[in-house]
Structure 1
């Protein structure tokens, strides 16, 4: 019962003060509930205030057999966050995570699509079906604006500022940003609204939701994954892709065409530019060409 009370207050802190998304909250809660289950089975007397690094070490060792390095790192990060919260609230004088080290992770470069592959995926959409125009518009928005899938499914009509050419996006932690809206992408959105969305029986509460399923409600994240997976199979694409692949491709193609890294950071909604810098490593050949083209020492005298 003691753990339950502390976990609830921590959850409220993350939701109200940190503004974390439901998906992130669920991930943190899952890891902490896993710790509670381990303690209930092996050390039922241990509370959040008396747990030691030895207990944590035993738990991490027990679950490490079924987790890869990246999942272990995420687990340890979540536990550190919880015990840091107890420190901030003066509920503990130290953290049992101080001696716990996460596994070292190599930099994982995101998968990307070429412009030809993106065109092939979109061309594979069956526009004779009612959902065809909607699906094409969703992929154009994913690629044209670099959105996360959670941002796409929650996009509102009122977020579209057509005259100004911007899209208001609500990202992680309810942080809002404005992303430039290309004329072509806007035309796709207007065509979908004019020719498809007007014929959908919209359910109460979803009047402002841009992309709707045939029942008039918001699409789920899983549905977007399924749509993209089916298109990849249809064109025999030999890559494992997801909605996030379009976001990676958006950033990579901007960088390859000379866009400023800081501008890409703002459009993606990255809190730190170090997150955006992963795209610098995607195409070293392109960067070499840029250096040889623009650096003042490009020619020998």
Structure 2
């Protein structure tokens, strides 16, 4: 089996059996393409079933020399391991060459979060005199109010808004659905956007059920959301490096800090494992120091 055929089969496996989103599938295929690029440059026409552990170790060393971060290396190795598990399952190979392939050790990085005041400053920086101003305000309020992924925001459907019950239905990773509460402020801003901006658009037929649209009446891209947020951060001279995901981190962290149940936060975020949610249980440094000072006998 050559690389083209094996990649095609693997892609179908990820889509049909794993039910992954197109973004996730693309990320896995990109991992395989990195390996192929390396192998073609060094070993010439080496098919996937002939790759050995030594080839893979040389690939990891090549990534090191290229200055690829340990986190990115770990992500790429994980994708390659998944690919070879698929080949083993399909009977293409008899032995998995990735079994003894080690990933670099990476520390657990706590996500950057925004304070409520910083989020208010970003929202107040939106120019509501522009046609898209109310749309941008509604999007940020929804990101922060519901803890959405950027892909979930751009794919949010009108038919999944249940404002009478103050819930929205989210279609998350792997087409898994979940119900998430939405704040009264976000509901108010979405309704203003619907009346003042969206209602006046000539909506593309493929985007009729999509909530947030661009000026051409089409679905917004993920890149556009990143751009809007980066521009607002520059406008208020915010020194933190933020993205749409920062609002999701802030949502989760502030719930946990406020005493919210970890399982409830896991459900709202759509995390498959509670271990992913536990990263938000980090505590304030001053609180840690204060705890030691008050309770440790040596303090």
Shorter chain as denominator, the TM-score bin is over 0.9
Deviation at 1:45, TM superposition (A): 4.5
2:143–2:248 CA contact under 8 A, matched in 1: yes
1:252–1:282 CA contact under 8 A, matched in 2: no
1:72–1:103 CA contact under 8 A, matched in 2: yes
Mapping 1:93-172, distance limit 5 Å: 93-172=94-173
1:109–1:282 CA contact under 8 A, matched in 2: no
2:170–2:180 CA contact under 8 A, matched in 1: yes
Q: Structure 1: which 5+ residue stretches go unaligned?
A: none
Deviation at 1:147, TM superposition (A): 0.3
SS in structure 2 opposite 1:106?
A: coil
SS in structure 2 opposite 1:26?
A: helix
In structure 1, how many angstroms separate the alpha carbons of the residues matched to 2:136 and 2:283? 28
Deviation per CA, 1:251-291, whole angstroms, max 9, x where unpaired?
01111111111100000000000000001115355578899
Which piece of structure 1 moves more, 42-51 or 89-98? 42-51
Match of 1:27 in 2: 27
1:256–1:286 CA contact under 8 A, matched in 2: no
In structure 2, how many angstroms separate the alpha carbons of the residues matched to 1:44 and 1:83? 20
Deviation at 1:47, TM superposition (A): 1.9
In structure 2, how many angstroms separate the alpha carbons of the residues matched to 1:182 and 1:288? 34
In structure 2, how many angstroms separate the alpha carbons of the residues matched to 1:202 and 1:290? 56
Match of 1:238 in 2: 239
In structure 2, how many angstroms separate the alpha carbons of the residues matched to 1:199 and 1:148? 27
Mapping 1:158-237, distance limit 5 Å: 158-237=159-238
In structure 2, how many angstroms separate the alpha carbons of the residues matched to 1:52 and 1:261? 43
Tell me: CA distance 1:155–1:289, structure 2 relative to 1, closer, same or farther (3 Å): farther
Tell me: CA distance 1:290–1:132, structure 2 relative to 1, closer, same or farther (3 Å): farther
Tell me: CA distance 1:245–1:282, structure 2 relative to 1, closer, same or farther (3 Å): farther
Deviation at 1:161, TM superposition (A): 1.0
Deviation at 1:26, TM superposition (A): 1.4
| Superposed CA RMSD | 2.1
Deviation at 1:94, TM superposition (A): 1.7
**Number of residue equivalences:** 295
Which piece of structure 1 moves more, 227-236 or 34-43? 34-43
SS in structure 1 opposite 2:254?
A: helix
In structure 2, how many angstroms separate the alpha carbons of the residues matched to 1:143 and 1:241? 13
2:149–2:244 CA contact under 8 A, matched in 1: yes
Tell me: CA distance 1:45–1:123, structure 2 relative to 1, closer, same or farther (3 Å): closer
Tell me: CA distance 1:209–1:286, structure 2 relative to 1, closer, same or farther (3 Å): farther
2:257–2:281 CA contact under 8 A, matched in 1: no
TM-score calculated relative to the size of structure 1: 0.93
Mapping 1:29-68, distance limit 5 Å: 29-66=29-66, 67-68=68-69
Q: Structure 2: which 5+ residue stretches go unaligned?
A: none
Tell me: CA distance 1:204–1:77, structure 2 relative to 1, closer, same or farther (3 Å): same
In structure 2, how many angstroms separate the alpha carbons of the residues matched to 1:119 and 1:55? 52
TM-score calculated relative to the size of structure 2: 0.93
Write out the 4+ residue segments of structure 1 that deviate beyond 3 Å after TM superposition. Answer: 284-292
In structure 2, how many angstroms separate the alpha carbons of the residues matched to 1:181 and 1:37? 45
1:138–1:152 CA contact under 8 A, matched in 2: yes
SS in structure 2 opposite 1:49?
A: helix
Deviation at 1:232, TM superposition (A): 0.5
